[in-house]
């Protein structure tokens, strides 16, 4: 059995936050003058990227960061800090920005943009015309696009794959359902679809209805903090249906498990953003321009992770089994729905509050 | 000494003042984090859950730690060294690894459920994972070695001639324990209880990995506030509330254990 929740989103965050704070304190004096000195150099100098780490981070090193580090004079360093919008805000408010590029979920990117802690992307430098649809946002360039959906055991569903209606109907199939506490991945949207809302008619989300539905099936749900945990539960049989993402299910299939994936969830993106007044923000914009224009990079990240990249042409060149799992695949696009980043940017707090009401009711 | 004061000022006082400041900021609706927290039933119920889990964990941990410390204290030679070594080894394993091991042990297809079904106690797997019990078991497991040390140290400080005197004056083993040994080890029990309680109140990974809905603790809320909501004021307010709650409960807990010390005199 694979033991991998260590790179799960939850466990590592506070530790790295504190480590980050310590770094900030330690770097107060010396670090800044260095940054300023190199900042004007543009194509050369330093670039510090805060990424997610894990298998996804390794794939990004291969597809983007190592290539850029070699092709240019820029010294690019990647910190696997699992950076969050909270960590970015702290750095910006204390005028001590340590990261040039940070990867954030789409909803956090919009929220950060509204809060004014992110630099608007300079589309004089970044060529928007080569980008995939929705890849060029006001404060972020997509690093990858993913789908979220339902993971299941093939032997349980020999004919038709399970739907959200069945996921949220305890009578349709025995066993627990694992859902994700990171609601930005679409947890509340799926509850509403499971309760009969049309997937094209979700926004604005009816939060009260979602909470009522969750409470009504609470005994059959397991709430997990990471998709790795969900995979583990499906493997062990503790859950028979899980909320999951294409790359996670691909990983289970590669381990030899007879599991299926129904991409009926949201398609969303994870975005590279530049914190306000980042020490090397010009260099950061140049990296984003390069990553957007790099056709091979998007092809490679797609083949490595089953998540498509920012370059529209590159995504069309992705080959192999993963092509069927990509959010840009027409079959997937028909089953899934796009996340409404505008709604999330403005309503994350209300949505989280609603989900907390479910989490704390006994 | 100056160095110590400097470290405390930079490392503790300044960040703490920042935390208090941040928690008192008023939001868009003109209220501060405390008003928002205490008007939110969800937050209140998580704070109550945190106290219940921390108290329960402390009781079980001390209940197990005392006999263990007592046994080690009464062991001799190589065996004693082995026992003390076994006490230290768990400190080398991270809490995440320890907790994750529990998910493998407690899952439906795990050894406990296999055994229960094997000997016919149950035909269906019992839900062990994602329960309050799982959280408390894993927390006790993690905190046990930490709890043993102060009790063991207090026991080694006891003058054994007092015990011999008690026995020679006709007191049985039980009477000697309740009148001499336990009261004299009281300060160790108190230190141990406070340490365990303070650590338990701040647990984060265990409820996240092993708990179900309704087992979330304040540390999980703080994480949500920072990483999901970008609400540093709420996070600061919650941190201050836990800190104050722990500070207030320490003297109360100590007073509960102190009278036993008086009796011993």
**What is the per-residue pLDDT across B3-31, written as a single tens digit (0 to 9) for each?**
999 998 898 899 889 899 989 988 777 78
- Whether residue A44 is predicted with pLDDT greater than 80 in this model: the reply is no
Token pair 């309680």: residue: B197
Mark yes or no for CB contact A1/B104 under 8 Å. Answer: yes
Local structure of residue B9 (DSSP, 8 states): I
pLDDT band at A362 (very low <50, low <70, confident <90, very high): low
Can you tell me which residue has the tokens 């990249």? A309
- Beta-carbon contacts of residue B5 (< 8 Å; ≥ 6 apart): none
**pLDDT reported for residue A40:** 38
Residue B106 pLDDT exceeds 90: yes
* CB count in 10 Å sphere of residue B49: 21
pTM: 0.80
Q: Is the dihedral of CA A70, A71, A74, A78 positive or negative?
A: negative
The confidence score (pLDDT) of residue B214 equals: 85
Shortest distance between the Cα of A180 and any Cα of chain B, in A, equals 12
Nearest C-alpha neighbor of B246 from the set B35, B31, B55, B39:
B55
Confidence of residue A30 (pLDDT cuts 50, 70, 90): very low
Report whether pLDDT(A120) > 90: yes
Is the CB of B42 less than 8 angstroms away from the CB of A13?
A: no
CA angle, residues A359, A53, A40, in degrees to nearest 5? 120
pLDDT at position A28 over 70: no
Higher-pLDDT residue of B26, A49: A49
In this predicted model, what pLDDT tens digit does every residue of B186-222 receive, in sequence order? 989 999 999 999 999 999 999 988 988 889 999 999 9
B28 contacts in chain A (CB < 8 Å): none
Burial class (CB in 10 A: 0-12, 13-18, 19+), B75: middle
* Contact flag B229-A1 (C-beta cutoff 8 Å): no
Mean pLDDT score of chain A, rounded to an integer?
Answer: 85
Q: ipTM > 0.90?
A: no
pLDDT attached to residue B247: 86
C-alpha distance across the termini of chain B, in Å: 36
Alpha carbon distance A248, A37 (integer Å): 42
Question: Quick one: how far is CA A148 from the chain centroid?
Answer: 10
pLDDT in tens, A157-203: 999 999 999 999 999 999 999 999 989 889 999 999 999 999 999 99
d(CA A170, CA A167): 7
Tally C-beta pairs within 8 A across A and B: 99
Tokens 């691909």 locate to A250
Nearest CB to B232 within list A86, A111, A360: A86
Residue found under tokens 């019990």: B133
Q: With a cut of 70, say whether residue B58 has pLDDT above it.
A: yes
Peptide bond into A204 cis (omega under 30): yes
pLDDT in tens, B225-247: 888 787 888 999 999 998 888 88
């Amino acid at each position: 059995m694979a033991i991998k929740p260590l790179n799960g989103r939850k466990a590592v965050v506070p530790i790295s936050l504190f480590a980050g704070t310590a770094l900030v304190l330690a770097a107060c004096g010396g670090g800044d003058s260095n940054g300023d000195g190199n900042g004007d150099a543009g194509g050369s100098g330093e670039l510090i990227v805060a990424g997610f780490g894990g298998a996804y981070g390794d794939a990004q090193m291969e597809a983007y960061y190592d290539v850029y580090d070699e092709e240019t004079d820029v010294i690019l360093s990647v910190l696997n800090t699992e950076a969050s919008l909270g960590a970015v805000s702290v750095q910006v408010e204390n005028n001590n920005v340590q990261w040039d590029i940070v990867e954030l979920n789409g909803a956090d990117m919009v929220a950060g943009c509204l809060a004014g802690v992110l630099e608007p992307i300079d589309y004089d430098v970044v060529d928007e015309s080569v980008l995939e649809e929705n890849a060029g946002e006001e404060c972020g360039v997509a690093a990858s696009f993913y789908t979220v959906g339902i993971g299941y055991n093939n032997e349980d569903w020999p004919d038709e794959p399970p739907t959200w209606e069945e996921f949220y109907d305890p009578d349709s199939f025995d066993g627990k359902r694992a859902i994700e506490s990171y609601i930005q991945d679409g947890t509340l949207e799926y509850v509403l679809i499971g309760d009969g809302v049309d997937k094209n008619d979700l926004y604005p989300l009816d939060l009260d209805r979602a909470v009522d539905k969750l409470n009504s099936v609470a005994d059959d749900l397991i709430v997990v903090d990471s998709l790795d945990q969900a995979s583990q539960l499906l493997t062990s049989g503790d859950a028979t249906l899980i909320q999951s993402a294409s790359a996670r299910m691909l990983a289970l299939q590669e381990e030899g498990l007879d599991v299926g994936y129904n991409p009926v969830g949201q398609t969303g993106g994870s975005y590279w953003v530049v914190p306000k007044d980042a020490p090397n923000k010009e260099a950061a914009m140049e990296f984003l321009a390069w990553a957007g224009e790099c056709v091979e990079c998007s092809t490679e990240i797609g083949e490595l992770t089953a998540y498509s990249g920012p370059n529209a042409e590159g995504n069309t060149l992705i080959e192999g089994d993963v092509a069927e799992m990509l959010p840009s695949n027409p079959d997937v696009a028909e089953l899934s729905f796009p996340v409404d980043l505008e709604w999330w940017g403005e309503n994350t707090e209300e949505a989280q509050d609603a989900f907390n009401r479910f989490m704390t009711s006994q | 000494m100056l160095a110590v004061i400097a470290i405390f000022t930079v490392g503790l006082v300044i960040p703490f003042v920042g935390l208090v400041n941040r928690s008192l900021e008023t939001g868009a609706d003109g209220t501060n984090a405390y008003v928002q927290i205490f008007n939110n039933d969800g937050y209140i119920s998580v704070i109550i859950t945190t106290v219940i889990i921390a108290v329960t964990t402390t009781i079980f941990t001390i209940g197990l730690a005392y006999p263990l410390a007592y046994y080690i204290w009464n062991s001799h030679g190589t065996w004693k060294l082995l026992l003390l070594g076994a006490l230290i080894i768990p400190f080398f394993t991270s809490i995440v690894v320890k907790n994750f091991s529990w998910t493998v042990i407690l899952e439906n297809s795990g050894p406990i459920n296999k055994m229960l079904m094997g000997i016919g106690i149950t035909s269906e797997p019992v839900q062990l994972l994602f329960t309050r019990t799982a959280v408390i078991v894993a927390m006790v497991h993690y905190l046990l070695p930490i709890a043993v040390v102060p009790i063991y140290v207090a026991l080694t400080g006891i003058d054994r001639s007092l015990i011999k005197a008690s026995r020679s004056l006709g007191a049985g083993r039980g009477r000697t324990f309740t009148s001499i040994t336990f009261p004299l080890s009281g300060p160790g029990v108190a230190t141990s209880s406070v340490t365990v309680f303070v650590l338990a109140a701040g647990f984060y990974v265990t409820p996240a990995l092993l708990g179900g809905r309704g087992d979330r603790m304040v540390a999980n809320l703080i994480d949500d506030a920072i990483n999901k909501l970008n609400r540093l004021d709420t996070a600061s307010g919650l941190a201050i509330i836990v800190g104050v709650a722990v500070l207030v409960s320490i003297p109360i807990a100590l007073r509960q254990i102190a009278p036993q010390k008086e009796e011993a005199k």
